[in-house]
Structure formats: C-alpha cells, structure tokens
Chain A
C-alpha cells in the first residue's frame, strides 16, 4: 500500500480538518459575509489532501445559503437577532451547523406556498433545494430555545 494512502487512512473521520465559524445579525446584509466565509472555507480546503469535488461543493454551499436565507427571512419576525454558522471539513464529508434563537421552525405548519407542487410556483423551493443537494438535513429545537440546522454532504 503506498505511504500516502496509509497516511490518509490514518486520519480519523472525526477529526476536523478545516473549520470556519461566524456569528452575524440575521439580516440580508449578512449574505455577503456568508458567501465570503464559504469562499475562504473552500480555499482552505483546496490546500489540503481532501478529495474535493466542485459539484458537491456547489450543492453544499447552495444549501448553506438557502438555510441561512430561511433564517434571515423567518427567524426573527419582530426584532433583530443572531445567526451562528459553523462550517467543517472532515476526512469524508463537509458539515454545516446553522443556529438561531428565533421562532421555532414548525414543519407541520408549512404555508401553502411550500406545499404547492406546480412547476411554475414562484416560492417555496429553498428547503427542497437544500435537501436535494445534501446527504443529510436535520433540524432541532433545543429546550434553551435555540434552533439548529445540521447539513451534511459526504465526499
């Protein structure tokens, strides 16, 4: 077995190889910073030995922006609030965690626009795009009143 392959296999899949974190005000202006962070994150990863795929990255980064945009639009209807984003590359996958302290995301009360399926609907595609591009999309509400989304894309 070649040396490099042995070294690669020795990297535990729980090790964080690249990380980028930021806390922002949940406002459309934050999207500029989010795209900048995603670019930095991707550039850092390109210096590593990770088997990166541009196609996977496009799906993952788009999913991050879709979830962030959802939080920006809906989490804080009455006032300003924060959005925390953490991006990580592991040996075999990329993960994003997005958290906010806003209103609960109630999947069961999706508005009619999200549930419409006609091809030419103008809204309601954000979550579908995120879900379709990822291997895992999870949401949970903590007892402390935090919403957290976890996005995972395997290499």
Chain B
C-alpha cells in the first residue's frame, strides 16, 4: 500500500494505491491519525488506485473520519471504484461519508 499526500487549499489529499484491507488498514489508520494531529483536519481520500476495500479498510477510513471530526474537520472520499462503492453502499457508509466522483469536485465542494 502506497500512501501519498498532497496539500491543496487547506485540504490534505491522500492518494492510496493498492488494496485497503487487513494488511494495510493499520498503516493507513495511523497515517490518517498522524495527519490530523499535525493539524490537517480536512482529509480527502483518493481511492482511484485502490482495487479492493474490505471491512478492515473501512475501519481505517472510519477511524480517520472520527479523528478528523473530533478535531473539527472531516474526511471525504473521491474516485471510489465499483468494488469500493459496493462495500460503502452495503454498509450504508455512503450516507455517513461524502463521496465525490473526482478530486476536483471534492476540492470544490469541501
């Protein structure tokens, strides 16, 4: 799992590459926590290059969401693929997390 972060007008765009699952959830969760504690409370997770998300991966995203909101910010999603959208819908987390089709739309709407 590769994690790359770019800062854009007060929003930290976190691009993930690979599977967001049991193996990578821990490192993603601590990465997001670290960003929030560094003052980046508005997170945008770009899932464009994430081939697979499972319940562990969702847990990492929810963990990041809680940390961000507790710090007065938020965590949003962009470019969720078919499989990611499926698990988000199946768990009704698509009602809890804002999901955008593109990063541009997400930055505009944040």
Residues of A within 8 A of B (CB): 28, 31, 35, 54-55, 58-59, 62, 65-66, 69, 72-73, 119-126, 128-129, 132-133
Whether B21 lies near A65 (C-beta < 8 A) is yes
* Main SS at interface, chain B: helix
B103 within 8 A of A: no
> Which among A35, A119, A123, A126 is the interface contact of B52 at CB below 8 angstroms?
A35
Residues of B within 8 A of A (CB): 19, 21-23, 52, 54-56, 58-60, 62-63, 65-66, 82-83, 86-87, 90-93, 96
In the complex, which residues of chain B have a beta carbon less than 8 angstroms from the beta carbon of A66? 54-55
Whether A31 lies near B23 (C-beta < 8 A) is yes
> Which among B23, B52, B63, B82 is the interface contact of A122 at CB below 8 angstroms?
B63
Chain B residue nearest to A122 in the complex (CB): B59
Whether B21 lies near A125 (C-beta < 8 A) is no
Chain A residue nearest to B95 in the complex (CB): A119
In the complex, which residues of chain A have a beta carbon less than 8 angstroms from the beta carbon of B86? 55, 58-59, 62, 133
- For the complex of A and B, 9 pairs with smallest distance between CB atoms: A126-B55, A125-B55, A122-B59, A69-B22, A58-B86, A58-B83, A132-B90, A28-B23, A122-B63
